[in-house]
Amino acid sequence: MPSLPSNRFRKLVSLVGLFVVFFSMLPSCGRSGEDATLKHQFARTSVARTRSPQSCRDGNTHKNIITYVKNLIRYLSKANPKAFNGDLDGSKICVVVEDAKELSASMEPNSGTMSINTGIFQKKYGLDSDAAIATILAHELAHFTMDHANVRPTALDLPPDYDVTAYEAKLAEYRAFETKSSAMIAAAFERVTRQHGANLVGAMAPIFADIATLQGDARQLRDNEWTTTRFADFKADLEAYQNSGETKKYQSLMSGYLFSHIESAQAYRTKLRPEIRDASEPWGTMSSAETLKNQLVSDAKEYDSGKFELVPALKRLRAPHFQWDEEQADEVGFEFFIRAGFEPAVFPELLNKLAHHVEGAGDCAKEVNQNSMPPRIHPDREPRGNHPDACWRYWNLRFQEPKIHDVEYTRLMPRVPLMDLPQLAGQREAIELEISR
């Protein structure tokens, strides 16, 4: 579609000031072809819940941070009354502070408990305004109002060309490697125990009898007793299964526990009487059994490693389905943020900082531009769990969302976008000083 006409551009400048500096070069809304990504329906900022959120409690440390964060949450929720009402009233949000240096926060949507790392207040990350902190809070609040613990993506939330069949087929290939390698490992233990197990169990009995005589402090004596009792029970159960003809139970027990007793015996070897410690058997058979087991397990793991060749394609196919809630939290959170009157440029810039400090990217503003969509999964950077690559998130909030919803956002923009709230003056600075000491 054509770019914004110049007369409209001048009108926007007069209405929204810096907002136009941020968005003025963007063409009108619309997406198609390979630019098609997840869809965000403007003003759909909360979803109906079948159950009320559980009750929660604030944390009992860093009361100053909890007070500051809850004041910001209260401000954001009051600016978005249609999303935060009834069971989703912003006053019901609880805040827990974690002593962690990482730039991170999280939300438990079922209870409305938001966890905040002290790291977000470290000076090195440069979150030097209430608006910057509100960006994080708005994203987490969106997880709460959109009930991301329970809802699943719908046709509205996924791109029209999302190929679930291709994803499931690739996932089946991936799981086939895991299934076969697990079977190979099980077969390895069964083979080794069939070949060596029966001879070892009886031959190891004198070793554990000698362990029972070892002296030491109270803790060592308890360890000795536990070790010898475990072996005695193991040996008795094997004999019972063998006498009753329960072959499967016998083999399962042998495969599952023989090597743990071999490891115990080897750990005690230097403490045993010389005639037992220096005997060639059963130590030689133990060594042969472990060597064979390690080789067979290594073969299984080598086979299993073939699944990693499928990972890039699997990630590309699954990304829209596994990352829709994070994109939605960005976009709904952006709405909360704009409706609260904050400077819009701060939101994508926070994602730029996230890309640099958490995912090891450079400057997203230099990596991407309005005319090309960066990959949701960067070939050289692993995304954090189910999150899209932070530079993709930066691009989405810097270019795509304003393009798609330019009319709606224009109507919301205040004349003077906020960076700091007068009623919170000094609170963030005091926290930053405390955390950065």
Structure tokens at 228: 């010898």
How many whole angstroms separate alpha carbon 418 and alpha carbon 414?
9
Beta bridge partners of 3: 27
Cis link prior to 282 (omega < 30° from 0)?
yes
Q: In 3D, which of 387, 381, 383, 380 has the Cα closest to residue 322?
A: 387
Distance of CA 166 to the CA centre of its chain: 24
Q: Contact 13/48 with Cβ under 8 angstroms?
A: no
pLDDT-derived band at 419, boundaries 50, 70, 90 = very high
Beta bridge partners of 313: none
pLDDT-derived band at 46, boundaries 50, 70, 90 = very high
Residue carrying the six token digits 């590309």: 316
Q: Contact 53/147 with Cβ under 8 angstroms?
A: no
Quote the pLDDT of residue 299.
97
* 400: amino acid identity, one letter: Q
Is 80 exceeded by the pLDDT of residue 79? yes
Structure tokens at 238: 């094997």
Distance of CA 306 to the CA centre of its chain: 24
- Write the pLDDT tens digit of every residue in 386-396: 788 888 999 99
Q: Contact 177/303 with Cβ under 8 angstroms?
A: yes
pTM of the model: 0.67
How many whole angstroms separate alpha carbon 347 and alpha carbon 134?
9
DSSP secondary structure, 258-325, as one string: HHHHHHHHHHHGGGS-HHHHT-STTHHHHHHHHHHHHHHHHHHHHHHGGGGGGHHHHHHHHHHHHHHH
Quote the pLDDT of residue 382.
60
- Write the pLDDT tens digit of every residue in 361-388: 888 888 888 887 888 887 677 655 578 8
Q: In 3D, which of 337, 326, 321 has the Cα closest to residue 83?
A: 337
